[in-house]
Amino acid sequence: MDAVYATWRLGVAKPDPAVNRHVADDLGLPPSACAFVDDSPRHVAGAEAAGMVAYLFTGATNLRLFLATLDR
């Protein structure tokens, strides 16, 4: 992990896409270069709305498969 973000410090909370855009901007990356994983469909939708690659967590095996599809 490169960084950890607490939404209460940002003043905006998931699923607002502004959270995801803030994180991408802070990392100096376009949202499309960021992967977001969460077990909440609403939070995943917020990340997708921000332009991120997003994944709904359903278990470790499926997460490993998803991560293997990402460019490195």
Q: Is the pLDDT of residue 72 over 70?
A: no
pTM for this model (two decimals): 0.86
What is the per-residue pLDDT for 57? Answer: 97
What's the total number of domains in the chain? Answer: 1
Name the residue range of residue 54's domain. 7-68
**Is 59 part of a structural domain of the chain?**
yes
Q: Quick one: which of 39, 60, 1 has its CA closest to 14?
A: 39
Q: Are 15 and 45 in contact (CB under 8 A)?
A: yes
Kindly give the interhelix angle for 17-27 and 41-49, rounded to the nearest 10 degrees. Answer: 60
pLDDT band of 1, cuts 50, 70, 90? low
* pLDDT, tens only, 9-40: 888 999 999 999 999 999 999 999 999 999 99
| CATH number of the domain encompassing residue 53 | 3.40.50.1000
3-state secondary structure of 15: coil
Q: Are 47 and 36 in contact (CB under 8 A)?
A: yes
**Is 49 part of a structural domain of the chain?**
yes
